[in-house]
Structure 1
C-alpha cells in the first residue's frame, strides 16, 4: 500500500538499519538500556499529491495529503492541519511518551503545538530535528555522532536566524532557543559561541511585542521561559529585565483560564513581579528591602502550609505506573510545593541576616531544609526529567543549612542528583550562594543592628509579624 512502510521496528533500530524483533521493548534496546520507541507499531507517511492523483486525497488549504484510510488516520491520532512531514511525525511520536521520567511534557504543555508550526522557521525545524534525534539516547547518554551533528546544525541555523531582525523577534525563534537549551542540557555541550542561552532567551523576551500575542502557544511559551530567566539572573548579573516586562507577563498569566476544579486546590498566591525581585534581593540586599521581603515570606509560608496539608491528604493509590495521570498530577503538585518552600527558604535566610537571634526564623529554616530533603527523596522515582527541579531546591538548602548533620545529608543527596545532568556543577552554585549569604551576615555584623530599629520598632521584622496588603486582593497564581 503506497505510503505505508512495511517495517514495524522501533525508531532506534530503524535509524541504524538493524533488524528489530518488534518486542516491547525490543531486545536490542533492552540490551543497550535505551528507551524503545515505536516497536511493533505501524507507521504512515503522508505524501504530497497533485490533482491528478487517485483516491484517498483531501485538501488542506493549498496542500493535499494522502490519507491511507480513515482507520489508519484515527490510529495515528493526528489532525489534518499538522504538516505532513517526517519531522513532524517524529516529534509527535516523541511527545506521545507519557512516562513522567522521560516525558517531554515536563518542559511545557506548549510543545504539543510545535508540529503544526514546522516548515515556517528554519531555526525551529533544525532545533526540533536535534531534539528528536537526541531523545532516544537520553537515557543511556551514549550519543552517536549523528546527534552532535544535528545539534551543531541547529546552532548554525539559529545564528543565521538571529541576524534577521524580523525572524529574531519571532516566537518560533524563541522556541528554537528553548529547544536547543534542552538539547544542551542533555548533551552537556557548553562550548559553543552562545555563551549563555539564558541571556539569549532574556534578550528575545525583551524584544517580544506583547500586543501581537494572540495564540495560547505564544502566551504559554513566554510565561514558561520567564521563570528560568529569573532563576539564571540570580547568579548571572548580565541578565536584567525591566519590572514592566514581568508585569506584562503576569497580566498574560492572569488571563489564562482556570477551571473551577483547579481553583479549589491550594496554590501559591505569589505573583510573578514579586518573584522577579529575587535576583536583586540576593545579589544586592539592602535594609530597605526587608519590609517587602517579610511580606513575601509570610505569604509563601502560609501558602506552603496549605499545600503541605493538601499533599498529606492526597489519595495513596495509582503510583506504580509512571505514565498514569494520577502520578503526573501528584508529581507536578510536589514540584510546585518544593519550589515554593525553596523560595521561602531564600527569603528566610535573607531575613535571618539581620535577625540572627530570631529563633522562629531559624526553626522554620530547619523545617524547610528537612522538607526539601524529604521531597528530594520522594521525587527520586521521577528522575531524571520528572525530578529535574529538585537539584535547584537542594542548592538553596545547602546554602542555607546551619546544622552540620543536615548539611551533610543535603550534600549527599545533591551529589546523587548531580549524576542526572552532569554538565551543571550544582555544588559550585550552592557554594556561591552560601558565600553570598555569608557576605550579608558579615555586613550586618559589622554595621550592627542599631540602624535597623529597636525590637519594638515597626521596622524590626520577625517571622510572626502580621503583614497586611491593605485593600488589595490576593495575588493570583503564577507558578505550577
Structure 2
C-alpha cells in the first residue's frame, strides 16, 4: 500500500485470497509460490498500489481456483484474464507506469494465467516478447532490489525457452547475460542449466545464418558438443541429488518442508531432462545415426516416464512441469513405442493441464521436432510445443 493510504475492502479480499494460496501451510499440490516463485509473496504486499497488478492477481486467483478444482467451465477465469489484459494495455500507454516493477510483475502473472487458462491459436503468449521489450526500454534492474531480482528469476526460463524459436525476442548479448545471471549469487545448478539453454539458443540462431558455411558450422557443432557434455554432467548431478534425497527422507514425505524440497528437486531434474533432450535432438539432427545419441535419447525418455510416475503425488501444481517434460520426451525419441508410452503418460495427467492440452498436441510436437532436428531452417510462423508459461515458470 502507498504510505498513509487505507486499503479498500476489495484489496483486503484480494490480498487474503492470494495469501491463502501462497502461505507456507498451503499444500505443495496447490501452492502457487512454491511452484512459481517467491515474487508472489512480495506481490501480495503491493496490492492496492497498482491497478494492473491488482487486475493480474485477480485473474491469477480465479485461474488457480479453476485448475485446482478441475473446473471445466473457465468463463469466469477468462473474463478476469481479459480484464487484466485491458488494464495492461492502458498501463503500457503510460511511459512511467509501463516501466515500473509492478507492471513487469503483472506480465509474469499473466504468463501464469494464460498457461492455466489455455491459449487459442498461436502458442506464443506475447507476454515474453512484451517483457523483453520493457526490459530493453527501462534497462535491466537494480541488483539491490530483491523484488525485481525475484521477478527476473521467474521470467528468465520462459523467455529463454521461447527465444529458441521466436526470434522476435531479441536482446543484446549483454542483456542476455544479465537475464541468465539474474540471481547475482554464486551459481547454482539451476543457473548453470539456464546458461546451457542460452548456449543452445545461440547455436540455433547462428546455425540458421551459417548452415551453408561448413567451416563456421564445424566450429559451432564442436562448441555445441562441449555444452552438451556439460549439460549431461549437470543432469547427472541433479539425478544423484534427487535420488539421495529420496533415500534419506523416504519416511518423511508427509511433512510440508520435505515435500516442498522433494518437489523442487524433481522439478529441477525435469528441467534438466528437457534441456538435455533439446541438445540431443539438435545433435541427432546433425548425426542421425550416432548410436551414443540414440542411447542417450532412450535413457532420457525412461527418466521422464519415471519422473512422471513419481511426481503424481504433487498434482496438479506441484507437478505442473510434467507437461513440458512429456512434450520433450515425445520430441526427443524417434521410437514409435516410446512415443506411445509418453502419450499414455500424458493421458494420465491430462486432466491437470490447461484446456487444449488434455491430449498431446501432436501437430505442435511434430513442428518442434522439425525445428530441433534442424529439418526446418526457418522457424517461420510462431508456434511452440506447449503453453510454456505454466510449465516453464514452475520448473525453472
CA distance in 2, matches of 1:190, 1:359: 39
More helix by share: 2
Q: Secondary structure at the match of 1:240?
A: coil
Structure 1: runs of 5 or more not aligned: 1-47, 49-59, 66-82, 443-478
Question: How far apart are the structure 2 equivalents of 1:251 and 1:151?
Answer: 31
- Please state if 1:299 is matched with 2:299: no
Which of the residues 196, 215, 233 maps onto 2:145?
Answer: 215
Match of 2:308 in 1: 376
Partner residue, 2:169: 239
Q: What is the rounded CA distance, in whole Å, between the counterparts of 2:318 and 2:140 in structure 1?
A: 31
Residue number in structure 2 paired with 1:325: 257
Shift of 1:268: 5.0
- Inter-partner Cα distance in structure 1 for 2:343 and 2:176: 34
Is 1:281 paired with 2:210? Answer: no
Higher mean displacement: 430-439 or 403-412: 430-439
1:22-421 alignment runs, 5 A limit: 62=4, 85-96=12-23, 98-105=26-33, 106-138=35-67, 139-143=69-73, 146-188=76-118, 190=120, 196-210=126-140, 212-253=142-183, 255-256=184-185, 267=189, 270=192, 272-282=194-204, 285=207, 286=211, 287=217, 288-314=219-245, 315-318=248-251, 321=254, 324-419=256-351, 420-421=353-354
Is the partner of 1:212 in helix, strand or coil? coil
SS in 2 for 1:239: coil
d(CA) in 1 for partners of 2:309 and 2:113?
26
Q: Is the 8 A contact 1:246 1:273 kept in 2?
A: no
User: Larger relative contact order (C-alpha < 8 A, sep ≥ 6)?
Assistant: 2
Give the stretch that moved more between structures: 174-183 or 229-238: 229-238
Give how far 1:201 is off: 2.3
Describe the SS at the equivalent of 1:160.
Answer: helix
Deviation at 1:215, TM superposition (A): 1.6
Distance in 2 (alpha carbons) for counterparts of 1:128 and 1:423: 23
CA separation of 1:90/1:301 partners in 2, compared to 1, >3 Å: closer, same or farther? same
Q: CA deviation at 1:144?
A: 7.1
Whether the 8 Å CA contact 2:330–2:365 is kept in 1: the answer is: yes
* CA offset digits 1:76-128 (Å, max 9, x no partner): xxxxxxx9833222222232262122111111111101122122211011112
Q: Does the aligned pair in 2 maintain the 1:205–1:222 contact within 8 Å?
A: no
Tell me: CA distance 1:195–1:358, structure 2 relative to 1, closer, same or farther (3 Å). closer
Instruction: Report the counterpart of residue 381 of structure 2 in structure 1.
Output: none
| Contact 2:52 2:91 survives alignment (8 Å) | yes
**TM-score, reference length from structure 2:** 0.80
Q: Deviations over 1:33-63 (max 9, x none)?
A: xxxxxxxxxxxxxxx9xxxxxxxxxxx9536
Structure 2: segments with no counterpart, 5+ residues: 212-216, 378-394
Q: How many residues align?
A: 359
TM-score w.r.t. the length of structure 1 is 0.67
